[in-house]
Each structure stands twice: as structure tokens, then as C-alpha cells.
């Protein structure tokens, strides 16, 4: 039996590098060795691509790049349909691959860049395509598309780095506090600040601009956050709805991956009718933003039972705390089955 050759990409030039290592380790451990020949390729924080042949347990420890590595990268030439590996004697080895599984969170991995490379190479890959990845990564554009699809979005304004201070102040005059100030394309919760009063807005804006050249400021939505794991291309499978119970004001990066003061309930503590409406809305958003393969669709449920769009994560986490696999598990699909289905769907792209 010929094993399917699967490249698992991890690491990357992103503030979410450490989370990628945790997710990649879970994926590597979860892939069925009787079905797949797994080829781990790590990308260092500096952007160096390395074929990793060592013990997978060194990946979450971030000691993987210290040994058992050879320079390797995906080749955009379609006639190779795979990777090139640099040998110690300076020669090159090419290896064809069947599927690329990007486990790269945030910039330079979740924003369409790696997806574009795979498109050039003609290699199927797990998850959303180039356009969808770029759209979902941009909180401004994603909100515009969601609203056009008939889904409610928070009131928000967009600031650009080229705007003068006066232009920024003018745009912000319409806001009602409290608000959330966010980098538009920085990924998972870096640079986000909850602002209760206008006097604190400038500092929050400056922090967001440290992470991106575009900033989105959203008015706070009453209620709580819910999410849906969606899997598929033509036919969509939706996991159980989950709910984030917050004990502080912001579900920030630290809180997402430690859950020190918050809890995630799967299934969400809501009635069946609301859960079904959330699932249907998730599918509308998934289609509107041209997602495929997988995505986690995050929304708010207000006290009036209105569903409001938050964001779409096109490469959700696969750590032990991660919402996507836990929502699928609650629906009845174990982790290995999720991975198998994602790889199957990649070949249908």
C-alpha cells in the first residue's frame, strides 16, 4: 500500500509561532502512520525552512531546529509538485508530495501567502484558499463581506497608518464606549485593547498600530461569544456550538491558550433553536467568505438573541485547549477522523 505523502508545515514568522508548535505536535501525533507518510517542515521565527527528521516531542519544546534538520522548501514549479531538500554535500533532492497541511497561525501562514505558494506548485492543501484566507485575516474586509451577506456586524471604524491625527479623531467621534481596538490583520488577539473611555483611546490605537498598518475599532456587543467549527467544501459538517464564559474583559492571546480565568462550554448553554440558528449563520458566513476545508466561525449572541459576526479563523488551533477539535468531538468526530476528513477535502479543492 502506497502511503499518502503529507507535508505538515509548522512554526513561521508570526507572533503565534509558539502556538503553531503545539498545534503541529498534536497533528503529527494524530495522523495515522498506516495511511500517511508524514514530512514535517518547520519554519523558524527568522523564516528559514527546514525538513525536520527528529523526535516530534522536541517541536512543542521549540528545540526542534537544533538537530536533525536539512534546508527544504516547497517549490513553485508544477513539474516537481513537491519539495526540494538540500543535502550536506550541496546537492539537491526533490520529493513529490500529495498534500500540504499548513499548521501556521497568524501572519505568513494564515493570510494566503503559503496558500498562494501551494497554488503555484499545484499541490493540494488543507484549509481555505488564497483569497478566502486573505479576506478572513482582514477584520475590516471580513466585516464588510459578512454585512453584505445579511449578517449583523458590530459598529466599527477603520484607521489607516497614513491618516493624520485629526482624521483619526474625526472618524472616532461616532463611537460609543466601551470599544475594542484591534490590529486589522495581526491574527489571534495580539495588540487588542478594551477601551472604556475616550481618554484612553490614543494609547490603545498606538499599541494596535505596532502590529499592523490598519486598525479596526469595534463597539462592544452585549452578550457572549459563541463559535462553530465548520468542515467541508461542497457538503458542510458543523460541530457543536461552543460558548466562551469570560471572567475578565478580554479573551486575549494569553487567556485563549491558558484558560486561567475563563471557561469554554461545549455544547454552549443555549436552547436548541438558538444553536441551530448559530449553525446556519456560520454556514452563511463560511460560504460568503469562500471558505473551504475548515474554519472556525466566531459570533456573538446578544441578550435579545441576535447573532452578530465576530471573525473567522481559517487555521484554528489544534492544541489540547483548542475549540475546533473539541467542537467536532462533541459532534461525534474524534481527532483522527477530523484529520482524515481534512486531508480528503484537500484533494477535492
Q: Three-state SS for 141?
A: helix
Give the domain ranges of the chain: 4-125, 135-153+222-346, 156-219
List the 92-96 sheet strands across, edge first. Answer: 92-96, 82-86, 69-74, 49-52, 36-43, 4-11, 99-103
| 228, 238 contact by CB (below 8 A) | yes
pLDDT of 319? 83
Angle between helices 335-346 and 17-30 (to 10 degrees): 100
User: How many secondary structure helices (H) and strands (E) does the chain include?
Assistant: 10, 17
> Which residues have a Cβ under 8 Å from the Cβ of 232 and sit 6 or more positions away?
292, 293, 341, 345
Is it true that domain 135-153+222-346 has CATH number 3.30.470.20?
yes
- Alpha-carbon distances, residue 340 vs 189, 231, 232, 346 (angstroms): 29, 12, 12, 10
pLDDT of 49? 97
pLDDT of 348? 72
In what helix (H) or strand (E) does residue 131 lie, and over which residues does it extend? helix 130-137
pLDDT of 189? 67
pLDDT in tens, 321-348: 799 999 999 999 999 999 999 999 997 7
pLDDT in tens, 29-70: 999 999 999 999 999 999 999 999 999 999 999 999 998 999
- What CATH fold (topology level) applies to the domain 4-125? Rossmann fold (3.40.50)
Q: Three-state SS for 215?
A: strand
The DSSP code for 3 is P
User: What number of other Cβ atoms are within 10 A of residue 89's Cβ?
Assistant: 5
Q: How many CA atoms lie within 13 A of 169 on its CB side?
A: 6
pLDDT of 190? 79
| CA dist., res. 331 & res. 297, Å (int) | 16
CATH code, 156-219: 3.30.1490.20
CA 109 to chain centre: 9
Spans of the chain, pLDDT less than 50:
254, 257
Amino acid at each position: 500500500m502506497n502511503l499518502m505523502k503529507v507535508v505538515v508545515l509548522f512554526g513561521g514568522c508570526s507572533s503565534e509561532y509558539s502556538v503553531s508548535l503545539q498545534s503541529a505536535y498534536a497533528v503529527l501525533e494524530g495522523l495515522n502512520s498506516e495511511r500517511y507518510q508524514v514530512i514535517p517542515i518547520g519554519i523558524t521565527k527568522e523564516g528559514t525552512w527546514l525538513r525536520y527528521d527528529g523526535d516530534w516531542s522536541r517541536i512543542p519544546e521549540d528545540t526542534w531546529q537544533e538537530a536533525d534538520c536539512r534546508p527544504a522548501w516547497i517549490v513553485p514549479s508544477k513539474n516537481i509538485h513537491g519539495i526540494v531538500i538540500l543535502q550536506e554535500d550541496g546537492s539537491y533532492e526533490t520529493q513529490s508530495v500529495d498534500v500540504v497541511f499548513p499548521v501556521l497561525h497568524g501572519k505568513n501562514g494564515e493570510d494566503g501567502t503559503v496558500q498562494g505558494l501551494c497554488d503555484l506548485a499545484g499541490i493540494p492543501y488543507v484549509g481555505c484558499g488564497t483569497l478566502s484566507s486573505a479576506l478572513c485575516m482582514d477584520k475590516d474586509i471580513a466585516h464588510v463581506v459578512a454585512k453584505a451577506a445579511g449578517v449583523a456586524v458590530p459598529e466599527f471604524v477603520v484607521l489607516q497608518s497614513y491618516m493624520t491625527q485629526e482624521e483619526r479623531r474625526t472618524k472616532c467621534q461616532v463611537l460609543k464606549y466601551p470599544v475594542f481596538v484591534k490590529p486589522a490583520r495581526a491574527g489571534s488577539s495580539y495588540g487588542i485593547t478594551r477601551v472604556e473611555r475616550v481618554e484612553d483611546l490614543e494609547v490603545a490605537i498606538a499599541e494596535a498600530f505596532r502590529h499592523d498598518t490598519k486598525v479596526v475599532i469595534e463597539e462592544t456587543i452585549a452578550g457572549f461569544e459563541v463559535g462553530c467549527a465548520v468542515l467541508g467544501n461542497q457538503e458542510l459538517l458543523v460541530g457543536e456550538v461552543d460558548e466562551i464564559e469570560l471572567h475578565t474583559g478580554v479573551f486575549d492571546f494569553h487567556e485563549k491558550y491558558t484558560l486561567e480565568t475563563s471557561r469554554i462550554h461545549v455544547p454552549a448553554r443555549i436552547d436548541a433553536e438558538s444553536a441551530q440558528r448559530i449553525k446556519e449563520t456560520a454556514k452563511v458566513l463560511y460560504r460568503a467568505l469562500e471558505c473551504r476545508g475548515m474554519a472556525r466561525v466566531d459570533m456573538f449572541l446578544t441578550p435579545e438573541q441576535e447573532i452578530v459576526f465576530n471573525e473567522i479563523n481559517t487555521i484554528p488551533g489544534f492544541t489540547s485547549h483548542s475549540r475546533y477539535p473539541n467542537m467536532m468531538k462533541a459532534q461525534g468526530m474524534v481527532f483522527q477522523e477530523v484529520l482524515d476528513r481534512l486531508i480528503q477535502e484537500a484533494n477535492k479543492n
